[in-house]
Amino acid sequence: MATTGTARSGAGTATVARLTTPALVLDRPAMLRNAAAMAAHVERLGVGLRPHVKAHKCVELARVQLAHGAHGVTTATVAEAVAMVAGGVEDVLLANEVVSAPALDRLALAARTASVALAVDLPEQIGLAAAAAERAGSVLGVVVEVDVGMGRCGVRDEAAVVPLAGAIAAEPALRFRGLMGYEGHCVDEPERALRAAQAGEATAKLARAAALLADAGLPAEIVSAGGTGTYDLTGAAAAVSELQAGSYLIMDEYHASVTPEFEPALHVVASVISRHGELAVIDAGRKAIGTELAPARVVGHDAEVAFTHEEHAGVRVRSGDGPAVGELLRLVPGYAPTTVNLHAELHVVEDDRVVETWPVLARHGTV
């Protein structure tokens, strides 16, 4: 099951130097500052917060977010949703369409003990979700996903929203909850004015869909949108009731390029295993550091990642001595969501002390 693994407290003497490399570490003070900053932002913006937990896949971190302004969590997979419910999270939105009957059965079982919702964008998905909820004797919440510009899932035509909502409302085992629309096409737009314009167009689509629903007597209780790159723009839109931003808590190089106001808290610690001139070779490659959307950044040295292989990366020292063989190197991952799943555990650190070790859950699509 997805919920294997238990949290362990640091043994007092545990230090980063004692970790087997490569290791995933999280700077607790920085993470808590990010949590508090987002709590203050959503309070100021007057919007709800339902952070996407795909970034960390860790129920202890979900609890930190719930203690800092969040009323529930967002997940990408059934496995994440089930793991969050098993960990005590009471309100989960699976921001995705699901049509696999066994997966829907797992989700519907989780809905026996928590509020669980998923997304639809076609009529045939509604019957599948209803059948699973009936089998489990539970009620699944359902939101209609609107394509707000990313071109992935989501209804293309706003006129499809009301008929879908009506079909959901007609199913006794389903509960129509509202709308979601993730503006993934513009969350990383570097130019803020352009990002604001594109996010504004995206939220306008959601506002139009919400107005159609209200006119049809099917008001949207939830209008869920937004990522770390657009939290302040999408969060200011009147139509949006909650933000799905999640990476703000731990951060990575990809998100730092757009929202440097949040601190990099997640690192991969690697050992320098060889050194040849300006090249330091470390024991962390693609199987330890996610570099999907940005290269990793070396901390504490004027050095850059020159290449990434399966179990090695080459770090080119630009100036200074650089790290010696045997030295530990910290790297900020390029992309946290494709880094955490490469590790079974996340070590929570304060300075060089390991204060806690938490399991990374639902690391693969189905477990």
List of residues contacting ligand PLP (CB under 6 A) = 52, 55, 74, 95, 182, 184, 227-228, 244-247
Q: Which is nearer to ligand PLP, 227 or 264 (CB)?
A: 227
d(CA 249, CA 235): 17
Q: State the minimum distance, in angstroms, from the CB of residue 34 to ligand PLP.
A: 11
Query: H/E element holding 140?
Result: strand 140-145
Q: State the minimum distance, in angstroms, from the CB of residue 155 to ligand PLP.
A: 15
CB 252, CB 294: distance < 8 Å: yes
Q: State the minimum distance, in angstroms, from the CB of residue 225 to ligand PLP.
A: 8
Q: Which is nearer to ligand PLP, 227 or 334 (CB)?
A: 227
> In which residue are the tokens 């508090």 written?
36
Q: Which is nearer to ligand PLP, 247 or 339 (CB)?
A: 247
How many of the other CB atoms lie within 10 Å of CB of 154?
22
Q: State the minimum distance, in angstroms, from the CB of residue 52 to ligand PLP.
A: 4
Q: Which is nearer to ligand PLP, 14 or 153 (CB)?
A: 153
Q: State the minimum distance, in angstroms, from the CB of residue 295 to ligand PLP.
A: 18
d(CA 333, CA 294): 8
Give SS3 for 242: strand
Exposed (0-12), middle (13-18) or buried (19+): which is 174, by Cβ within 10 Å? buried
Q: Which is nearer to ligand PLP, 293 or 328 (CB)?
A: 293
d(CA 85, CA 115): 9
> Measured at the alpha carbon of residue 235, what is the angle toward residues 230 and 237, in degrees to the nearest 5?
110
Sheet containing 73-75, strands listed edge to edge, beginning at the edge strand earlier in sequence: 48-49, 242-243, 222-225, 174-180, 140-145, 115-120, 91-94, 73-75
Q: Which is nearer to ligand PLP, 176 or 182 (CB)?
A: 182
Q: State the minimum distance, in angstroms, from the CB of residue 359 to ligand PLP.
A: 20
Q: Which is nearer to ligand PLP, 14 or 26 (CB)?
A: 26
Question: Residue 220 forms beta bridges with which residues?
Answer: none
Question: Residue 302 forms beta bridges with which residues?
Answer: 319
Q: State the minimum distance, in angstroms, from the CB of residue 44 to ligand PLP.
A: 18
